[in-house]
Amino acid sequence: MLLVGGFSVSDYLHARISHALKGRAKVARPTEPREAVVHGAVHFCYDPDLITERRAKLTYGFQMALRFREGTEDNRHQGIFGPDGQKLVRDRFQIAVRRSQAVQRDQPYRKILTPSSAETPTLQVTFFASRDRDPQYVTEAGVEKLGEISIDISHSVGRPPADRKVRLDLVFGDTTIMATATDLDTGTTTRIDLPVDDPEQAEALGLV
């Protein structure tokens, strides 16, 4: 861990953090911790590509109907049946990136999605974030909605769900997550930018 900023000059703070992280991480600070913040901001302004990797501040993902698991909390949640007759739990949290996970800048997370029915005219994906590293359901305490994206797939109504694929791409940028849904049949795309730092930003941005 690297301590920067005015308060990082405190030997007491350095000692307490070092004790709390003993055996898990080394705690260091530059010779001029106050100036380090300014220097970093200026360098980033001139060359944003200097930062190639970040640590996710939250666990990010989306709601997805996943296979029912016997002997778990799935018994307490609403179930549906998929097109092949398989029992699914509809409010599961599909994790894209876990909290503290290293995320390459502009490196996409990709997932192929299909509707639950041959008659579904629109595929909607709702995004969530949590401070928990392993949330299981989007209804858990501490899980916050970030926004949602919808893509029209009415042209393929009546076809088997497996033939109605939509590709979801999540690109983690500097301040937002760019979510793009692409209908693989028509090439039609829909995009939304989600807040990366604080779920409460979503309300301010009008995303929820």
pLDDT in tens, 81-121: 877 788 888 899 999 999 989 888 777 899 999 998 899 99
Whether residue 119 sits in one domain with residue 20: no
Whether residue 91 sits in one domain with residue 28: no
Contact present, 106 and 175 (Cβ < 8 Å):
no
- Identify the pLDDT of residue 131: 92
| Residue 123's CATH number | 2.60.34.10
- Identify the pLDDT of residue 205: 38
Domains identified in the chain, total number? 2
pLDDT in tens, 32-47: 888 888 887 787 777 7
Q: How sure is the predictor about 207, in pLDDT bands with cuts at 50, 70 and 90?
A: very low
Whether residue 154 sits in one domain with residue 67: yes
Asked if residue 82 is part of any domain, the answer here is yes
- The string over 124-133, giving b where at least 16 C-beta atoms fall within 10 Å of a residue's C-beta and e elsewhere, is ebbbbbbebe
Give 1's contacts (C-beta < 8 A, 6+ positions apart).
17, 21, 25, 26, 27, 28
Average pLDDT, the chain: 86
Q: What's the CA angle centered on 128, arms 44 and 140, to 5 degrees?
A: 135
Q: What is the dihedral of CA 138, 140, 141, 142, to 10 degrees?
A: -40
Q: Residue 121: which domain range?
A: 54-204
Asked if residue 66 is part of any domain, the answer here is yes
- Identify the pLDDT of residue 114: 94
- Percent pLDDT > 70 in the chain is 94
Asked if residue 1 is part of any domain, the answer here is no
Q: Which of 46-50, 79-83, 137-141, 160-164 has the lowest mean pLDDT?
A: 46-50
pTM for the model stands at 0.77
Q: In 3-state terms, what secondary structure has residue 149?
A: strand
